[in-house]
Copies of this chain bind each other. A is one copy, B any other.
Amino acid sequence: MAFCIPAGFQFSGVHCGLKSDPQKRDLVLVTCSPASVAAGVYTENLMYAAPVELDRARTPSQDVRAVVVNSGNANACTGPKGLSDAHEMARLTAEAIQADQEQVLVMSTGIIGEYLPMSQIASGIASAASCLGNGELDWLAAAEGITTTDKGPKTAQREIVLDGKTVRILGMCKGAGMIGPRMATMLAVIATDARLTPETAQSTLQACTDASFNCISVEGHMSTNDTVLLLASGAAMDAPLERDDLNSFGSAVQEVCIELARQIADDGEGASHLINIQVSGCATEADARRIAETVAHSNLVKTGIAGADPNWGRIVSAVGYAGVPFDRDNLGLVLNGFCLFQNGAPVEFDAAVVSQSMREQRETMVELTFAEGSAAARFWTSDLTVEYVRFNSEYHT
């Protein structure tokens, strides 16, 4: 895989001792050229972690120089000391790259409720600052360093031409459930050399997150640390993007976000299927989203798909308790292209054939159609397997 690194960024990922395996990177630095713009979207969990509190106060911003990320410790539920540790991470990073501490954002993921080992963090930051680079391996080291129980780094990119200028969008994320023993969180960093204002960066990121990272779940447990950051160095152009160009840029960012989000759902702990739920014909997008999400959160739907069982009764009954009114006589369900339920009544089908398609395909397509309007939504989740339960119950803290 060849990465197109946007101009104006440097990356590094090192091991500083937060993860026990010395081969595993656990501290990441992303720096950007002066006057870079940053936008952030965060968890809505009231028990939000210290770095979320810090970043939320600093974004949107037109003057960001770096993001420092640690994996292995979430710095969540750690009270005033946790917040001061997050500030210290920013201060140490600023010192190492000669910036102001207000120009640094922080992300953490890992164990909840333990204080950060600040001496390891400090040496990690010094080491990461000394090996920054803009090569593909520097990028990969960073993408690896933010992972926890992920199977590998998760990245996506787009290159588009706007007003004669080539713009690059490169994203990384981590997440495989609100994970393992006390592990948590999805984190994402999208770097671009497009020029944005803080306002357009924030509105673009919010819209793209709504259509991607807010449309996935592994088990529906909202983390304390979820953070998506968009960093725009502006190195590819002189004036900020506007109107049509901004829309084209937004579409490309959304594609990157969806590609990353799908990777998180696909990498759900123990998952054997990526479940792609498409709802259409609703009165409002919120209705469509709510139905998709209710189906995605049903353990019975998720275990049925794990078993390659075309059990439409579980899906249809989950639709019925989503809290959205609809005409039962117009409900339809298509699974992997096979129509199982139409006009509110069962359709005869060959269960063995549908089951075989579910066994053979990694992605299970669930299409639900209504006749209430023209609004639609998509949602991605993973199936629920014996391995998920084993992973989350047999490892002890």
Contacts and interface: CB of A to CB of B under 8 A. Distances in A.
Interface in A61-80: 76-79
Copies in the complex: 2
Contacts of A384: 299, 389, 393
Interface in A320-335: 320-321, 325-326, 328
Interface string A305-322: 011111111101111110
A236 interface: no
Given A311-B181, A345-B79, A316 B47 contact: yes
Contact of A328 (B46, B177, B184): B46
A222 B317 contact: yes
A303 interface: yes
Nearest to A45: B320
Nearest to A270: B389
A26 interface: no
A330 B344 CA distance: 49
Chain A: interface secondary structure? loop
B392 A300 contact: yes
Interface residues of A, number: 65
Interface string A345-375: 1100001000100000000000000000000
Nearest to A340: B113
Nearest to A343: B79
* Most B CB within 10 A of own CB, among A224, A318, A325, A389: A389
A178 interface: yes
Interface in A149-206: 177-178, 181-182, 184
B326 A46 contact: yes
Nearest to A305: B393
Contacts of A314: 178, 182, 221
A69 to B, nearest CB: 20
* Most B CB within 10 A of own CB, among A78, A299, A328, A388: A299
A84 B319 CA distance: 24
B313 A113 contact: yes
B79 A219 contact: no
A223 interface: yes
Contact of A389 (B221, B303, B312, B396): B303
A278 interface: no
A346 B47 contact: no
A385 interface: yes
15 contacts: A44-B321, A46-B326, A47-B316, A47-B317, A47-B319, A77-B313, A77-B317, A78-B346, A177-B300, A178-B317, A182-B314, A221-B317, A307-B395, A386-B390, A389-B389
